[in-house]
Structure 1
Amino acid sequence: MNDILQLRGQFQKRKNVNGFGPTNLPKGSKVTAEHVGNMKQQLKQLENYWKNEMTIGGVLISVHYKCIVAKSNRLQILLGEKSSHPNMSIRGAKFVDENNAKNEKVKKHVFTYFISFEALRKSIQYLEKCELVLNKYYNGEITDKDTQLINSGKYNVNIMAKSSFLRVVVDSNYVESFRLDRVDETIKDRSIVTIYKTGVNTVELLSKFGIDMIHAKMIDETTLRLDGREIQILQNNAPYLIAMHVRDLAEIVIDEDIVKDESESLISIPEPTNEPTVGVIDTQFDKRVYFHNWVVSHNMVDPNITITTEDRFHGTAVTSIIVDGPAFNPKLDDGCGRFRVKHFGVATAGGFSSFTILKMIRDIIASNRDIKVWNLSLGSAMEIDPNFISPEAAELDKIQCEYDVIFVVAGTNKTRKMTGTVKIGAPADSLNSLIVNAVDFNGKPASYTRVGPVLSFFYKPDICYYGGDKQEKITVCEPLGMATVCGTSFAAPWITRKMAYLIHIVGLSREVAKALIIDSAAGWNRQDNKYFAMGYGVVPKRIEDITHSKDDEIRFIMNGTIDEYETYTYNIPVPQDMKAHPFFAKATLAYFPKSDRNQGVDYTSTEMDLHFGRIIEKDGKAMIKAIDYNKQADEGIQNIYEEDARKLYRKWDNIKHISEAIKENARPRKAYSAGMWGLSIKTKERLVPKAGRGLQFGVVVTLKEMNGINRIDEFIKLCMVRGWLVNRIDIENQIDVYSKAEEEIEFE
């Protein structure tokens, strides 16, 4: 097997010099004065409504679009505050399924804005003038050809400035209607509620309705815990304020079919030395087990709650796999060794308060900065919402951005009462976390499998691993001895072991480690891109199958930081044979973007657009011929709709995996000019420009030789000639380095 190579060199940076060009209607589009007039009337009705509703210091308006819109096709002038882009006024986003003009069911964007009365009146004036211009000069209808003529200089209208007129026309083209959306369902149970951010402080605002809010009941400025009575008050007085809600008390999904092992098999374990430490957040840990010296446990539950043996089963079982899983599961021996664990018991075996656990997790991570990998095998029985991330997942995503850690999270299980397709439960909708579903020992989705996607789009789970099933289960150590179990709770710890090995022993960044796990699961024949049950595939059992590549493969990793719009290198020398590249190629990118739960379906703030392939010259310019034919951000007009960009190129997803299909009769790729390949990452922001600057990324690239020849030495030499520092990741050497680094030095 070949070692993985680490390429270190200089990435080039480039600012975005491409403008958006003139403001034109899309080809074949038209806007009528009637539609503009309807929009004007809708805003006037909303103005009249809000005049009598002065509680929130402004106006909430929901903008229903005709389709899923790109950032560049959102409102550009309407609903904009003075000297501020309308995007800065967005308070939420969701998808709705409605009929289009052809009576076909399509998914549409809905954005909720919070603006001042001044901005609302200004928007009404814009629409009034636009309607007047359309009726007076364009016979009540304007087309894309008309907007092109206007941009060429043919616009002699005094009623409205050219730039304002064109922007209102284009805004009107994408908007279906302006409305005030409300939560219609009656919420009776205690819930975690998120309200729209308005012009009034949340505590002050709720007090106007008779709801006394203390900071202990708040997760952040707009997310808080309310009981049934308080929610009823809010719904009666201001139902428009509720952006999203989820029941607070969740049920841990634990497989009920547990078989106790009656044998008295004794397992011995040496004392821990300098092994890496993994964090576990789960139910309680029982110190009577044979590996108790490897675990430092903390009970985080209210001391007034009595802890029983039943409350220790799940947490102890999960931790047993992380510490010593291969000892009692030889079939799953991964070669990762043993790990020490810091175990935090945050729940009991029954229900638990999501709100309470949310408060605990941040404090736990902040107090244990040395731990980089955390296992979380708790999950909710309730299905995730298609339009917003759960509060638990959002908090995990925030923590991972702030503390440079990664959570490995179980994908949650079906209970016996659940039938048919069931969506995963919180916090398995965390985008930055590595979400693990389970397969049986034949590599098929387990009988208790729940599925994604998240927010109707994001691939979750990420991967899957062996979690056992009715025919063959996983062995764990519980307080009363060995037991056989099954569930995603017991698949996730095996991946936690691998992540801890890659980060602590091999010394990889979390970005590269995550990309490497996903890349190894996907292989060359992605197993699941339709049913959202297996993620990118099953992760290999042995760690060497992740840390090495086959003899006919060259696998290399690259790290970088985003400082400008584009980060790129056109200097990757792929070996040639007869002026052609005899390789199939694939690449996986991982990064941990900031996110905003208040933005609903537009949750992630930063997009990294991955381009990888051969360098070609076109019109005197060098460019990448991407292996997935990605033309986003290429020069010239690219007619790629937002929905297609999301489906084809995973736009806004924080994992990008692109791969060529292996074909028996494939021919080597023509080598252009100098025979170089390139990698480019172009960055886009949803709201605040340059918000993602400083964000780290990890890329794993694999080249597979078409004729089975090992060309790794040739590749290394070519890279060194081109100025790359090439480091072979020698695992034995890395283990020695880790051991030396962890040795305690005693001074005489």
Structure 2
Amino acid sequence: MSAITTIKTYTPKSFEFTPKKDEVLKASLFNYYDYPLNETIKSAFVDFCTVQKIILRETHYSDDLIVFRLEGVNSEEKYQNILNFPALQFIEPMPYLKIGIDSSAKETEVELKTPEPNIDYPIVGVLDSGIADIPFLSSWIIGHESAYPEDRLDKSHGTFVGGIITYGDELEKIEISGVKGCKLFDAAVLPDPNKESVAEDELIENIREIIRSNPNIKIWNLSLGYESLEVDDCKFSQFAMALDDIQKENDVIICKSAGNCGNFSSNKPVGRITVPSDSVLSLVIGSVSLDGSPSVFSRTGSGPAHINKPDIVSYGGNFIKSGKRFVKDGVKSFSVDNNIYDACGTSFSTPRISALLAGLSHEIEEEFDPLLLKALTIHSARYPEDVRLTQIDRVKLMGYGIPDNMSNILYNSDHEITLIQSDRLVKGKYMEILEFPYPESLIDDKGYFYGDITVTLVATPVLFSGNGVEYCQSDIDVKFGTFDEIEEKEVTKSHRNEYGPDSLANILLPDKYRSRSVNNSDHDNPFVRERTLLNYGKKYQPVKKWRVNLNELTPANKEKYLKSPKRWGLRLTGVYRDFAETRAGLERTSLYQDFCLMITIKDPNNHHMVYNEVSQLLENRNFIHSDIQLRETIQERIRV
């Protein structure tokens, strides 16, 4: 900022009010980040509403948000009095949610399966409308919990979602998740919309209480959201912040659908993702057809502050144009009467990813690590060969692509290796590896390094709910590339290592590569489906991914950065916004970010035994490392 030209008195965000019987409003007060002051303001607001004969209740979205549910605002005078309350940030009608399913019978047979008595299965919690105890699913349901009486539920949607989690691959007769069986916890958080409506604050409370009361369930499917309330460019939704708060509080992953849009039927562009798909910590999933092309109804990103959402996509069906009409090509699952139906939607691509994450978590015999699971899934994702989109459009529509199945995610061929670093980066420190073990076998006859490199970073950012578009208050800068020599450095407050690279060239930057590679205009190049080459710049992104082929560097950069002899290095640096640093200073707390970094190095020609070579380099260079412990013996990835 170079100058402030105008300062205006803040006016609370409001709406055109018309008194309605039984209308519920949502009022948000400013958070002054001063506990005594906030408590005084809340007490004053309660007293104010009591005098006005307004019924109010404070609702818990997150620790940083001060939100009240208001009933009895039945006159223009009361509404204007609320607008004049000094600490009011905004007031709006309380949003209400509903879900439905447009399905039709499908002639498909699938064999009924039951859990083997001596096998331990992964579990997914299904936050939905309830799951019916039909023969196909009853033996897979480990428990029910509902916020509503049985006669107030319509279990059609939840049953369809549960069927995909447990029978998804069998119903489509192709391997998508690769998970052979998944148990279900039925968490009914939505009533039948024809009998009862649910307000946003009630739904959040239902989700929070059910997740909190089932601490052993770590993967939760949430195929719910608003039909048309799109995310805002300038702020994150309070619903999304609430989901982030729930995930941090309970150490879980919520797999969230990106939302559906019907604009395709009137030849209009697809709309933006809907609230709360702007949740930073949720894994947000869009939809593709079986051939891998984006489904016409799958909503597009990005989210607020250009955050990349959806994260990934999976199979959720499609509508195919035939003449002047669209024909449904849906995914298959079960109805409440135990028959097989088909339907389309991101609601039904999301449970495939929930099953995949639950399967990965179950196979990895280590402490639950949400960052590792998200990183494994996103790291494996690819784009289909026939999808001809620019880099930006691909990410907006498909996130980082379609994840692989479980066994492929956990398997390394002999011609590649994946290194994983899970750690905590404290403010004022950085992580640097000066002798990164890049395989010397990947030097060609002319003396240039080559190889396919995939780098994925998933971090838990510092989040402050009252900062609008600057909700994400931290970032991690990743540099990976080559340098010539290790030289002595002056030890300073910000640089405490007396040795460092003379100049680390970051080969993850798009400007190092040929323009056709950056623009994805080289459609005949077989690597185009793999390539992910984004310039994240100063965008605060908790998930970042690069996938590059070193042969695509410009000739000048290839000569400058890849001509051996070269050393390889890695550096991670934490970045924090001024607000976070100021708050940490006032509260005398330390800022940090937990992260999981994955780097895969692959011989694109499948000639050299990269796995063995890098493993030996790790030993020779005294890296402390171990294999990820799995339930079954397969060739594991290496954690450094």
Please give the range of the TM-score, normalised by the shorter of the 2 chains.
0.7 to 0.9
Distance 1:184 1:694, change over 3 A: closer
1:660 aligns with 2:554: no
* Alignment check: 8 A CA contact 2:14 2:92 kept: no
Q: Secondary structure at the match of 1:491?
A: helix
- Distance across 2 between alignment mates of 1:448 and 1:674: 48
Aligned to 2:190, which of 327, 347, 350? Answer: 347
Find out whether 1:179 has 2:8 as its counterpart.
Answer: yes
- Asked whether the 8 Å contact 1:375–1:492 carries over to 2, the reply is yes
Change in CA separation of 1:524 and 1:280 when aligned onto 2, cut-off 3 Å: closer
1:514 aligned residue: 374
Q: Which residue of structure 2 aligns with residue 713 of structure 1? A: 612
Matched, 1:383 2:217: no
Partner of 1:733: 632
Cα displacement (A) at 1:586: 2.9
Distance in 2, matches of 1:656 and 1:286, equals 39
Pairwise CA distance, 1:191: 3.7
Where do 5+ consecutive residues of structure 1 fail to align?
1-72, 74-172, 632-645, 738-748
> In structure 2, the residue corresponding to 1:229 is in which secondary structure?
coil
- 8 Å CA contact 2:308–2:396 kept in 1: the answer is no
Q: Which residue, out of 505, 509, 526, partners 1:625?
A: 505
Alignment pair present for 1:592 and 2:460: yes
CA contact (8 A) 2:55 2:72 kept: no
SS of the residue 1:443 aligns to: coil
Say if 2:451 and 2:550, in contact at 8 Å, map to a contact too. no
User: 1:378-425 CA distances to partner (integer Å, 9 max, x unpaired)?
Assistant: 111122233222222111111222222111111111247885332222
Mark the CA change 1:384 to 1:243 in structure 2 (over 3 Å): closer, same or farther. Answer: farther
| CA distance, structure 2, for counterparts of residue 236 and residue 252 of structure 1 | 32
Give the match for residue 208 of structure 2.
Answer: 362
Aligned equivalent of 2:478:
610
Structure 2 unaligned regions, length at least 5: 320-327, 489-499, 512-533
Which residue number in structure 2 is paired with residue 444 of structure 1? 293
Q: Which has the larger radius of gyration?
A: 1
SS in 2 for 1:243: strand
Structure 2 counterpart SS, 1:586: strand
Question: What is the distance in 1 between the residues matched to 2:318 and 2:628?
Answer: 36
| Pair 1:338–1:524, CA change in 2 (3 A) | closer
CA contact (8 A) 2:61 2:241 kept: no
- Deviation of the 1:467 alpha carbon: 0.4
8 Å CA contact retained: 2:363, 2:631: no
Bigger Cα displacement from structure 2, 322-331 vs 341-350: 322-331
Is this contact kept in 2: 1:716–1:726, CA < 8 A? no
* Cα distance per residue 1:65-114 (max 9 Å; x no partner): xxxxxxxx4xxxxxxxxxxxxxxxxxxxxxxxxxxxxxxxxxxxxxxxxx
Task: State how 1:423-572 maps to structure 2 within 5 Å.
Answer: 423-470=272-319, 471-480=328-337, 481-507=339-365, 509-522=369-382, 529-530=392-393, 533-549=396-412, 552-565=415-428, 566-572=430-436
The 3-state SS of whatever aligns with 1:174 is coil
Cα distance in 2 between the residues matched to 1:520 and 1:736: 16
Structure 1 residues 264 and 237, CA gap change in structure 2 (3 angstroms) = closer
| Structure 1 stretch displaced more, 377-386 or 689-698 | 689-698
**Alpha-carbon contact 1:267-1:290 (below 8 Å) kept:** yes
Q: Secondary structure at the match of 1:590?
A: strand
Q: How many residues align?
A: 548
Please say if residues 145 and 210 of structure 2, whose CA atoms lie closer than 8 Å, have aligned partners that are also in contact: no
Correspondence 1:678-717 to 2 at 5 A: 678-689=570-581, 693=591, 695-705=593-603, 707-710=605-608, 711-717=610-616
Aligned-pair distance for 1:493? 0.8
* Alignment match, 1:274: 120
One-letter identity of the residue aligned with 2:614 = F
- Residues 61 and 245 of structure 2 are in contact (CA less than 8 Å); yes or no, is this contact kept in structure 1? no
Equivalent position to 1:208, from 31, 34, 48: 48
- In the other structure, the counterpart of 1:158 is none
Question: Matches of 2:57 and 2:483 in 1, distance apart?
Answer: 56
Match of 1:319 in 2: 162
Q: Provide the residue aligned with 2:104 in structure 1.
A: 259
What displacement does 1:595 show? 1.8
Correspondence list, 1:295-310, <5 A = 295-303=141-149, 306-307=151-152
Equivalent residue letter for 2:542? N
Q: Is the Cα contact below 8 Å between 2:101 and 2:156 reproduced in 1?
A: no
Note if contact 1:605-1:687 (Cα within 8 Å) is conserved in structure 2: yes
**Amino acid across the alignment from 1:185:** F
Cα deviations by residue, 1:98-131 (Å, 9 ceiling, x for unpaired): xxxxxxxxxxxxxxxxxxxxxxxxxxxxxxxxxx
Once the two structures are superposed, the pairs formed by residues 178-257 of structure 1 within 5 Å of their partners are 178-182=7-11, 183=13, 185-187=15-17, 190-197=24-31, 199=37, 200-208=40-48, 210-211=51-52, 212=54, 214-215=56-57, 217=59, 219=61, 222-227=66-71, 229=73, 233-238=78-83, 241-244=87-90, 247-256=93-102
Partners in 1 of 2:546 and 2:107 — Cα distance?
A: 48
More divergent stretch after superposition (554-563 vs 514-523): 514-523
Q: Secondary structure at the match of 1:465?
A: strand
Within 2, Cα distance between the matches of 1:262 and 1:282? 26
1:516–1:264 distance in 2 versus 1, CA, 3 Å: closer
Residue type of the partner of 2:73?
R
1:328 corresponds in structure 2 to 171
Aligned mates of 1:611, 1:179 — CA distance in 2: 42
Q: For the Cα contact (< 8 Å) 1:376–1:408, is it kept in 2?
A: yes
Tell me: CA distance 1:496–1:527, structure 2 relative to 1, closer, same or farther (3 Å): farther
Per-residue deviation at 1:262? 5.8
Q: Which residue of 2 aligns with 1:155?
A: none
CA distance in 1, matches of 2:538, 2:383: 18
Q: Assess if the C-alpha contact under 8 Å between 1:206 and 1:213 holds in 2.
A: no
**AA in 1 matched with 2:10:** D
Corresponding residue for residue 407 of structure 1? 254
CA distance in 2, matches of 1:585, 1:629: 13
CA–CA separation in structure 2 for the residues paired with 1:692 and 1:403: 22
CA distance in 1, matches of 2:394, 2:573: 29
DSSP 3-state at the match of 1:612: strand
Query: C-alpha separation between the residues in 2 aligned to 1:604 and 1:611?
Result: 21
Superposition TM-score, scaled by structure 1 size: 0.66
CA root-mean-square deviation = 3.4
Aligned with 1:723 (options 622, 631, 635)? 622
Structure 1 residues 312 and 736: CA distance shift in structure 2, 3 A: farther
Indicate the SS of the match to 1:687.
Answer: helix
Alpha-carbon spacing, 1:721–1:316, altered in 2? closer, same or farther (3 Å): same
Q: Distance in 2 between matches of 1:384 and 1:424?
A: 6
Q: CA deviation at 1:593?
A: 2.3
**How many Å separate the matches in 2 of 1:658 and 1:692?**
30
Higher relative contact order (Cα pairs below 8 Å, separated by 6+ residues): 1
Cα distance between partner residues in 1 of 2:407 and 2:390: 21
Q: Cα 1:204–1:245, aligned 2, differ >3 Å: closer, same or farther?
A: closer
How many angstroms apart in 2 are the aligned matches of 1:197 and 1:661? 47
User: Any idea what the Cα deviations from partners look like across 1:512-555, whole Å, max 9, x if unmatched?
Assistant: 22122212224699975236543434324522332234554332
Q: Distance in 2 between matches of 1:527 and 1:289?
A: 46
CA 1:230 to 1:725, structure 2 compared with 1: closer, same or farther past 3 Å? Answer: farther
Alpha-carbon distance in 2 for matches of 1:570, 1:601: 36
Tell me, in whole angstroms, the C-alpha distance in 1 between the residues paired with 2:510 and 2:575.
14
Judge conservation of contact 2:365–2:630 (CA < 8 Å) in 1: no
